[in-house]
Amino acid sequence: MDCVKCGGETCVTDSRPRGGGKNGIRRRRRCRDCGERFTTSEYHEDDLPALARAVDMEDALTRLAAMSKSQAFILKTLKDAIGK
């Protein structure tokens, strides 16, 4: 992970489970270049919602491609009608 201050490489100095009923990991990190310390929280995502998001994204991209083809057709038709 990159440092939030200088963009340098970081190392993990401490790692522990996230408390408070949250399913995740809390990590303390330190930049090797500037020495900046910061905390990150990492959460596990279930595979099923990720699959659903992928299917939704694929559907959205299909609709966008169809819309782009329709827009290109309309633009071409208008240009032909104008004579340009």
- The tens digit of pLDDT for each residue in 32-81 reads 999 999 998 887 655 445 555 566 666 766 776 777 777 777 777 877 88
Residue 5 resides in a domain: no
Res 24 pLDDT > 60: yes
Q: Are residues 54 and 71 in the same domain?
A: yes
| Measured CA angle at 39 (ends 35, 43), to 5 deg | 140
Q: Are residues 38 and 60 in the same domain?
A: no
What distance in Å separates the CA atoms of residue 38 and residue 30, rounded to the nearest whole number? 7
What distance in Å separates the CA atoms of residue 35 and residue 10, rounded to the nearest whole number? 9
Q: Which domain holds residue 19?
A: 10-43
CB 25 within 8 A of CB 57: no
CB 28 within 8 A of CB 43: no
Q: Are residues 58 and 83 in the same domain?
A: yes
Q: Are residues 15 and 39 in the same domain?
A: yes
CB 63 within 8 A of CB 35: no
When divided into structural domains, the chain yields a total of 2
Average pLDDT rounded to a whole number, residues 16-44: 84
Residue 65 resides in a domain: yes
Residue 38 has what pLDDT?
A: 92
